[in-house]
């Protein structure tokens, strides 16, 4: 502090001026103090910037830690410092780097929660201590006293900590990145009260940089590893795909010249963009953000048998016109079942189901599309066709040189699909074991045994005959039941009715949205059977006479036709809470009523609403109209027994019938309709009693 | 009460000591002391109170006489508190001054592991008053299971 | 009221002496390991055991405390009045963490459990003139 100048001048000044001088000098003292603090702070902020830029320039973790501690010593003057890193479990810290400790304990482990550094890790806040040794001595003597008293044993054992022996002062700072603790940064001193708040602040700033650098270095390592792994995977895929690629290249070379003009013209239209990738991912693709993905999908290959020799006698423009007509129709069918035409090669079509985002119905959709193609082909081409289907994991993404990259797939599953097509009989839909596993409950399928495939060894082959007929479907109909013995022929009536009255509706593609294949036809068949059964028995015949077969069939066939307007994703969710389920049902009803209006079947509006209400209220709303009740019981039964994508195992027939009787809708079999239904469907000689408990039992 | 011999020995050793008093408004006060002694079989203890900064302590003692005298050993944390009544204060004798000097030297050595010499040597111990008080109760202040317990006669 | 200069005295480097007085006028003087700096007008004492100091303060809230600077060994005398006890919050957490940090090393977790942080309002503070070199 500056002393006021002594001497004659000072003594001669009047009182007032002297007081003023003293005041100025006092203020000067305060100003000096502040300036010193500010200078220190400025200098040290500069130093920190230096440290930070040094740290962030490298991504090697060990190097970083060394540099930090060196800078903390030489630039900031903290001679003893260490960095501990948290392990993956988050339960202990490991000493990763130390400075000023000689050879001491790198690798030493500190449990979280023990000691000052362990507490910093546990509480994730800074801890500054100035009296460690004194405190420990104090506690040690207490501990000794406690151990000396009777019953004083049983204290936890003390822990040895890494760091300065005899450290009195310490600052520990948690290193946290994105809510995760990555470690602790600490400085120590043998002197007591060696650190103050300013030291805390400085080191906090450095610690932030340290934490970020550690996190970045780790990310960098993880990223490098991921890139290595991806390169390995792609190399494997590329090797496997070689054969297909060469075949494709061969065919492409043949048609390349001829197709070039066509492609150039189409490049001018907006259609070009749509051809590059499935419509759902075009926005991402245009942003350059469409990356590679792994997906489980189904792949369909078709091939016209004998096309080359057939077309050799035709003029070029006739070939193209016929082929494009064929492709137009095939693309339509594929699109109807939500497939994506990946490419056409010569007269072949390669279609993908389940791209670009994956779904649960891809195998069913692929097989349905394949069956439909074979079924409608005779009207579209004079030649027969082979179709092969396989399901499995692939990678998808944009492939090709920069200006010609297209959405494509890579994977062995693609090769297998192609092989399936090669070995398929003309006119048949051949599927692999993988596809079979996914679609078996829904289709009638013939196993064709194993076959030798070039480059693949022996593979199983299956041929899809068609959708499971109600009569063949053991899950829905027991062979010994009254329905199977006496009422099966009415199934054909139902299909005939459907074709005649509702030819404009593609029931199959609507049902495919949630895999409820032939559900509407089954409900109609059951409902019609119950109606005839009741009329035949003459029970309560007056009310049943009033019900027309036409209305039963129509209500049954159209009862959930609103599915056509709903997203398959919503239809296939397994709703765990009643509220969401109700919402979904409400939407379905709304779309169904809408369809009824457009079909000019306003007479079905009220019964349809009553049907939904009856099913939702679980019978709580009182007795429904007979028409509604018949369709309801058939619908509930088919829902229980038919295979569904989002439910687990379907009920066995006996269990389903017992459950039917237990449902509140049924009032303990007091409803004759439910009882009649059970009589019709139950296996012969079996007595069905309402289930005592609500538990689901699979027999 | 008669001060037991072990405690007399203890308070004559190189222990840290201080005296607590209070004023008429029951406001407490504390001051460090430097040296003390008793006698076997006696119920009084005398401590040396440095005169610098002693005004409040003396005023409290004269007005109500209540005091609490605490002695503590640095390294072991063993500590006793003697409560009692002020009897007299007078200037220290030459012999007592010598006793105090020896005490300071011994204390410095005793506390060396914890404090440097200048920590203790810098204090102004003289001139001092020899303050005598009558012991009414003794308490064990050593941290641990027996802390706060009364020491019997 | 508390100058920056006193902060190093409050890191527990040198034990402090605290005096209290019961409601019937009997003084009590003990050693405590640390007085904690809360802000310019408050300090805290850790309340771990229900001892005479705590008992006195609940009857008669005034205390006198001396602390020493580990830098220059100057002695400071504070007079303060008990304001309130905290069993949670930043002050409590900070003190609890410090205590636990050492206790866990000594195998004494739970023994020194912080019951409360007793917050005192500082009424006066001054540096004593009892040293040769102030």
Distance (Å, whole) CA A653 – CA A439: 21
Cis before B89? omega within 30:
no
Residues found in chain C:
134
pLDDT over 90 percentage in chain A = 22
pLDDT band of residue A259 (cuts 50, 70, 90) is low
Best interface-test mutation with B: which of C62, C112, C130, C132 has the largest number of B CBs within 10 A? C130
pLDDT for A566-607, tens place per residue?
A: 877 777 766 667 788 888 889 999 999 999 998 888 999 999
| Cα→Cα distances A395→A3, A291, A407, B88, Å | 83, 10, 11, 99
DSSP state for residue A289 in the 8-state scheme:
-
Write down the pLDDT at residue A260: 66
The answer to whether the beta carbons of residues A413 and A393 sit under 8 Å apart is yes
What residues does A386 pair with on adjacent strands? A303
Q: What is the dihedral of CA A586, A587, A590, A595, to 10 degrees?
A: -140
Set of chain B residues whose Cβ sits within 8 Å of the Cβ of A134: 114
Kind and range of the H or E element at A345? strand A339-345
CA of A43 to nearest chain B CA: how many angstroms apart? 33
Say yes or no: A453 contacts chain C, CB-CB below 8 A. no
Determine the distance in angstroms separating the CA of C70 from the nearest CA of chain A, rounded to an integer: 7
Chain B nearest CA to A193, separation (Å): 13
* Chain B residues within 8 Å of chain A (Cβ atoms): 75-77, 114, 142-146
Q: How many CB pairs under 8 A join A and C?
A: 95
Predicted pLDDT at A699: 26
Flag if B145 and A145 touch (Cβ within 8 Å). Answer: yes
Task: Compute the distance between CA of residue B138 and CA of residue B150 in angstroms, rounded to an integer.
Answer: 6
DSSP B123: B
Task: Specify the higher pLDDT residue, A155 or A449.
Answer: A449
Mean pLDDT of A199-205: 82
Other CB atoms within a 10 A radius of the CB of residue A238 amount to: 11
| Rounded Cα gap, residues A87 and A47, in angstroms | 31
pLDDT in tens, B78-135: 999 999 999 999 999 999 999 999 999 999 999 988 888 888 888 999 899 999 999 9
Residues of A in contact with C15 (CB under 8 A): 134
Question: For residues A329 and A339, what is the distance between their CA atoms, to the nearest angstrom?
Answer: 13
Is the predicted pLDDT of residue A116 greater than 70, yes or no? yes
Name the residue facing B144 among A134, A137, A145 (closest C-beta): A145
**Shortest alpha-carbon distance between residue C19 and chain B (Å):** 6
Closest Cα partner for A194 from A166, A175, A174? Answer: A166
CA distance B89 to C102: 43
Q: Name which residue leads in pLDDT, A43 or A449.
A: A449
pLDDT score for A25: 66
Cβ burial of A141 (10 Å; 0-12, 13-18, 19+) is middle
Spatial contact of B87 and B14, defined as CB atoms under 8 Å apart:
no
DSSP E strand stretches across C48-106: 62-68, 75-86
Cis upstream peptide for A356 (omega within 30°): yes
- On whether any CB of chain A is under 8 Å from the CB of C32, the answer is no
Partner chains of A (3+ C-beta pairs under 8 Å): B, C
Say what the pLDDT of residue A58 is: 55
Structural contact between residues A84 and A214, judged by C-beta atoms closer than 8 angstroms? no
Q: What is the mean pLDDT of residues A126-140?
A: 85
CA-based end-to-end distance of chain C: 20
Compute the nearest-CA separation of C36 from chain A (Å): 11
CA of A138 to nearest chain B CA: how many angstroms apart?
A: 7
**Cα A420 to the center of its chain, rounded Å:** 29
> By CA distance, what is B77's nearest residue in C?
C31
Q: A190-199, A223-232, B42-51: lowest mean pLDDT where?
A: A223-232
For helices A519-537 and A672-681, the axis angle rounded to 10 degrees is 110
* Cβ-defined contact of B145 to A146 (cutoff 8 Å): yes
pLDDT value of position A43: 67
Chains that touch B (3 or more CB pairs under 8 A): A, C
Closest by CA to A609, choosing from A598, A599, A597, is: A597
pLDDT band at A541 (very low <50, low <70, confident <90, very high): low
Q: Is the pLDDT of residue A54 over 60?
A: no
Q: Given the DSSP bridges, would you call strands A457-467 and A429-431 parallel, antiparallel or unpaired?
A: antiparallel
Cβ neighbours for C134, distance < 8 A, ≥ 6 positions apart: C74, C127
Region A147-172 average pLDDT: 75
The SS3 of residue A445 is strand
- Phi-psi region at A290: left, alpha or beta (left = phi > 0; alpha = psi -120 to 50): beta
Distances (CA, A) of A124 to A174, A183, A560, C38, C97: 5, 10, 57, 20, 10
Task: Report the C-alpha dihedral over residues A208, A213, A214, A218, rounded to 10 degrees.
Answer: 140
Query: What pLDDT does B2 receive?
Result: 92
SS3 A29: helix
Q: Which residues of C touch B22 (CB under 8 A)?
A: 19, 21, 25, 27
Would you say the CATH fold of A269-467 matches that of A58-135+162-221?
Answer: no
pLDDT > 80? residue A539:
no
From chain B, pick out residues whose CB is under 8 angstroms from the CB of C132: 122-124
More confident residue, A103 or A614: A614
Tell me, which fold does domain B5-140 have in CATH? Pnp Oxidase; Chain A (2.30.110)
- How far is the first Cα of chain A from the last one, in angstroms, to the nearest whole number? 97
CB–CB of C8/C69 below 8 Å?
A: yes
DSSP secondary structure code for residue A624 in this structure: P
Do residue C107 and residue A143 have CB atoms under 8 angstroms apart? yes
- Report the alpha-carbon distance of residue A361 to residue A406 in Å, rounded: 25
> Cβ of A141 and B114 within 8 Å?
no
Task: Report pLDDT for A159.
Answer: 72
- In angstroms, the separation between the Cα of residue A120 and the nearest Cα of chain C is 8
Determine, for residues C11 and A128 on separate chains, whether the beta-carbon distance falls below 8 Å. Answer: yes
Asked if B146 and A138 come within 8 Å (Cβ–Cβ), the reply is no
Cα(A362)–Cα(A370) distance, integer angstroms:
12
- Secondary structure letter of residue C91 according to DSSP: H
Q: How many angstroms separate the CA atoms of C67 and A637, rounded? A: 86
A528-562 burial string, b = 16+ CB within 10 Å, else e? bbbbbbbeeeeeeeeebeebebebbbbbbbbbbbb
d(CA A343, CA A49): 57
Of the partner residues C71, C101, C111, the one whose CB lies closest to the CB of residue A115: C101
pLDDT of residue A616: 83
- Residues A180 and A215: their CA atoms lie apart, in Å, by 10
Task: Say whether A135 and C71 touch across the interface (CB within 8 A).
Answer: no
Residue A140 DSSP SS3: helix
Beta carbons of C12 and A134 less than 8 Å apart: yes
Please determine, for residue A99, whether its predicted confidence score (pLDDT) is greater than 60.
yes
Dihedral (CA of A635, A640, A641, A646) sign: positive
Concatenated DSSP letters for A156-216? PPP---SS-TT--EEEEEEEEETTEEEEEEEEEESSTT---HHHHHHHHHHHHHHHHHHHH
What subunits make at least 3 CB pairs under 8 angstroms with C?
A: A, B
Question: Among partner residues C15, C101, C112, which is closest to A119 by beta-carbon distance?
Answer: C101
Average pLDDT, chain A: 80
| Substitution target from A145, A147, A190, A192 for chain B, most B beta carbons within 10 A | A145
Q: Which of B19, B115, B147 sits opposite C29 (nearest CB)?
A: B19
> What are the residue ranges spanned by the domains of chain B?
5-140
Fold topology of A58-135+162-221: Beta-Lactamase (3.30.450)
Is the pLDDT assigned to residue A4 strictly greater than 70? no
Judge: A152–B114 Cβ closer than 8 Å, yes or no: no
For residue B129, give the H/E element and its range: strand B128-140
Please determine, for residue C73, whether its predicted confidence score (pLDDT) is greater than 80.
yes
Answer whether B148 sits within 8 Å of C129, measured CB to CB.
Answer: no
Q: Which of residues 92-151 of B touch C (CB under 8 A)?
A: 115, 118-119, 122-124, 139, 141, 147-148
The SS3 assignment for B43 reads coil
Tell me if A158 and C98 make a contact (CB, 8 A cut-off).
Answer: no
Give the pLDDT confidence score for residue A47 in this predicted structure. Answer: 65
Secondary-structure class of domain A269-467 per CATH: alpha beta
Is the pLDDT at A646 greater than 60, yes or no? Answer: no
Share of chain C above pLDDT 70, in %: 98
Higher local confidence (pLDDT), A5 or B25 = B25
Partners of A186 on chain C (C-beta within 8 Å) are none
What is the reported pLDDT for A644? Answer: 63
- CATH of segment(s) A482-681: 1.10.3210.10
Is any Cβ of chain A less than 8 angstroms from the Cβ of C7? Answer: yes
Q: Could you read off the pLDDT of A338-382 as tens digits, one per residue?
A: 899 999 988 999 999 998 888 888 999 999 999 999 988 888 888
Determine the Cα–Cα distance for residues A649 and A662; give it in Å rounded to an integer: 19
From the list A414, A448, A80, A457, the residue with the least C-alpha distance to A242 is A414
Q: Model confidence over A411-459: pLDDT tens digits?
A: 999 999 999 999 999 999 999 999 999 888 888 899 998 888 777 788 8
Q: What is the pLDDT of residue B6?
A: 93
Q: How confident is the model at residue A638 (pLDDT cuts 50, 70, 90)?
A: confident
Q: Domains in chain C and their CATH numbers? A: 4-127 (2.30.110.10)
> Which of C21, C24, C132 is the best mutation test for B, with the most CBs of B within 10 A?
C21
**pLDDT in the model for residue A1:** 41
The answer to whether the Cβ–Cβ distance between C19 and B83 falls below 8 Å is: no
**Span A669-677, average pLDDT:** 75
Boundaries of every domain in chain A: 58-135+162-221, 269-467, 482-681
Cα torsion through A495, A500, A501, A502, rounded to 10: 70
Burial of A631 (0-12, 13-18, 19+ CB in 10 A): buried
Handedness of CA B82, B85, B90, B95 (dihedral sign): negative
Asked if A115's CB is within 8 angstroms of C11's CB, the reply is no
Question: How many Å apart are CA A553 and CA A497, to the nearest integer?
Answer: 8
Considering only the beta carbons, identify the residue of A141, A149, A152 that sits closest to B77. A141
Q: Find chain C residues with C-beta within 8 A of A113's C-beta.
A: 104
Over residues A374-412, the pLDDT tens digits come to 988 888 888 999 999 999 999 999 888 877 788 999 999
Q: Is C70 on the interface with A (CB under 8 A)?
A: yes
Min distance C86 CA to chain B CA atoms (Å)? 23
Task: Give me the helices (H) in A424-464, please.
Answer: 433-439
Q: How far apart are CA A112 and CA B33, in angstroms?
A: 44
A128: enclosing H helix or E strand = strand A127-129
Handedness of CA A67, A68, A73, A74 (dihedral sign): positive
Nearest to A440 by CA among A364, A351, A358: A364
The reply to whether the predicted model has a pTM over 0.80 is: no
């Amino acid at each position: 502090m500056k002393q006021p100048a002594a001497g004659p001048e000072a003594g001669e000044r009047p009182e007032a001026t002297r007081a003023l001088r003293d005041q100025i000098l006092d203020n000067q003292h305060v100003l000096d103090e502040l300036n010193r603090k500010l200078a220190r702070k400025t200098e040290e902020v500069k130093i920190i910037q230096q440290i930070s830029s040094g740290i962030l320039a490298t991504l090697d973790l060990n190097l970083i830690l060394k540099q930090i501690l060196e800078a903390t010593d030489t630039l900031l003057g903290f001679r003893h410092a260490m960095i501990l890193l948290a392990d993956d479990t988050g339960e202990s810290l490991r000493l990763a780097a130390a400075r000023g400790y000689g050879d001491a304990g790198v690798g030493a482990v500190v449990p979280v929660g023990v000691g000052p550094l362990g507490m910093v890790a546990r509480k994730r806040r800074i801890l500054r201590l100035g009296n460690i040794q004194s405190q420990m001595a104090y506690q040690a003597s207490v501990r000794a006293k406690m151990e000396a008293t009777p019953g004083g044993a049983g204290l936890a054992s003390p822990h040895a900590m890494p760091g300065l022996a005899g450290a009195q002062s310490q600052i520990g700072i948690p290193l946290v990145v994105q809510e995760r603790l990555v470690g602790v940064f600490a400085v120590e001193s043998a002197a007591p009260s060696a650190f103050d708040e300013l030291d805390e602040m400085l080191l906090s700033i450095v610690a932030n940089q340290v934490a970020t650098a550690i996190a970045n270095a780790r990310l960098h390592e993880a990223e490098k590893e991921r890139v290595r792994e991806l390169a390995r995977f792609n190399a494997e895929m590329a090797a496997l795909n070689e054969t297909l690629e060469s075949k494709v290249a061969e065919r492409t070379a043949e048609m390349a010249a001829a197709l070039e003009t066509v492609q150039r013209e189409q490049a001018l239209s907006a259609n070009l963009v749509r051809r590059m990738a499935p419509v759902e991912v075009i926005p991402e693709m245009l942003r350059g953000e469409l990356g590679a993905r792994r997906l489980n999908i189904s792949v369909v290959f078709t091939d016209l048998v004998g096309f080359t020799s057939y077309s050799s006698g035709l003029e070029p423009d006739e070939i193209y016109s016929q082929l494009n007509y064929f492709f137009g129709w095939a693309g339509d069918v594929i699109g109807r079942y939500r497939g994506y035409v990946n490419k056409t090669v010569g007269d072949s079509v390669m279609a993908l189901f389940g791209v670009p985002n994956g779904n649960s119905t891809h195998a069913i959709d692929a097989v349905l599309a394949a069956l439909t193609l074979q079924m409608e082909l005779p009207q579209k081409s004079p030649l027969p066709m082979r179709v092969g289907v396989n399901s499995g994991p692939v990678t998808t993404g944009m492939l090709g040189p920069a200006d010609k990259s297209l959405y494509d797939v890579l994977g062995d599953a693609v090769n297998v699909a192609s092989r399936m097509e090669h070995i398929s009989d003309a006119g048949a839909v051949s599927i692999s074991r993988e596809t079979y596993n996914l679609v078996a409950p829904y289709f009638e399928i013939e196993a064709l045994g194993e076959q030798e495939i070039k480059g693949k060894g022996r593979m199983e082959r299956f041929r899809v005959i068609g959708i499971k007929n109600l009569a063949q479907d053991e899950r829905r109909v027991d062979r010994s039941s009254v329905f199977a013995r006496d009422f099966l022929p009415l199934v054909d009536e139902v299909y005939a009715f459907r074709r005649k009255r509702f030819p404009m509706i593609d029931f199959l593609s609507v049902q495919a949205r949630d895999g409820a294949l032939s559900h509407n036809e089954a409900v109609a068949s059951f409902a019609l059977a119950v109606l005839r059964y009741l009329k035949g028995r003459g029970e309560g015949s007056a009310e049943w006479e009033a019900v027309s077969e036409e209305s039963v069939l129509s209500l049954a066939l159209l009862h959930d036709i609103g599915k056509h307007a709903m997203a398959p994703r919503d239809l296939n969710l397994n709703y765990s809470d009643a509220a969401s389920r109700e919402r979904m049902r409400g939407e379905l009803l709304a779309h169904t009523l809408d369809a009824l209006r457009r079909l000019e079947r306003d007479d079905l509006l009220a019964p349809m609403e009553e049907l939904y209400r009856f099913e939702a209220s679980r019978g709580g709303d009182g007795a429904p109209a007979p028409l509604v009740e018949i369709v309801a019981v058939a619908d509930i039964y088919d829902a229980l027994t038919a295979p569904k994508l989002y439910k687990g195992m379907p009920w066995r027939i006996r269990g389903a019938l017992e459950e039917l009787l237990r449902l509140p809708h049924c009032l303990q079999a007091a409803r004759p309709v439910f009882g009649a239904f059970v009589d019709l469907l139950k296996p012969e000689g079996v007595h069905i009693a309402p289930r005592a408990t609500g538990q689901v039992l699979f027999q | 009460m008669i001060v037991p011999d072990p405690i007399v020995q203890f308070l004559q050793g190189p222990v840290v000591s201080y005296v607590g008093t209070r004023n008429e408004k029951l406001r407490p006060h504390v001051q460090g002391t430097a040296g003390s002694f008793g006698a076997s079989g006696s119920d009084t203890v005398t401590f040396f109170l440095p005169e610098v900064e002693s005004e409040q302590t003396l005023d409290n003692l004269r007005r109500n006489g209540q005091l609490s005298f605490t002695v503590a050993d640095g390294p072991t944390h063993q500590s006793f508190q003697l409560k009692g009544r002020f009897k007299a204060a007078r200037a220290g004798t030459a012999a007592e001054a010598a006793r105090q000097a020896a005490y300071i030297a011994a204390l410095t050595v005793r506390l060396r592991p914890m404090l440097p010499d200048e920590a203790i040597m810098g204090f102004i111990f003289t001139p001092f008053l020899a303050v005598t008080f009558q012991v009414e109760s003794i308490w064990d202040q050593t941290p641990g299971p027996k802390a706060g317990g009364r020491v019997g006669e | 009221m508390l100058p920056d200069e006193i902060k190093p005295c409050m890191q527990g480097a040198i034990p402090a002496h605290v005096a209290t007085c019961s409601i019937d006028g009997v003084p009590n003087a003990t050693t405590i390991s640390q007085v904690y700096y809360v802000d310019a007008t408050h300090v805290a004492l850790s309340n771990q055991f229900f001892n005479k100091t705590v008992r006195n303060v609940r009857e008669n809230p005034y205390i006198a405390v001396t602390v020493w600077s580990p830098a220059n060994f100057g002695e400071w005398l504070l007079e303060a009045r008990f304001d309130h006890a905290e069993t949670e919050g930043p002050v409590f957490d900070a003190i609890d963490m410090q205590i636990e940090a050492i206790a866990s090393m000594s195998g004494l977790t739970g023994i020194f459990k912080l019951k409360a942080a007793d917050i005192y309002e500082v009424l006066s503070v001054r540096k004593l003139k009892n040293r040769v070199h102030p």
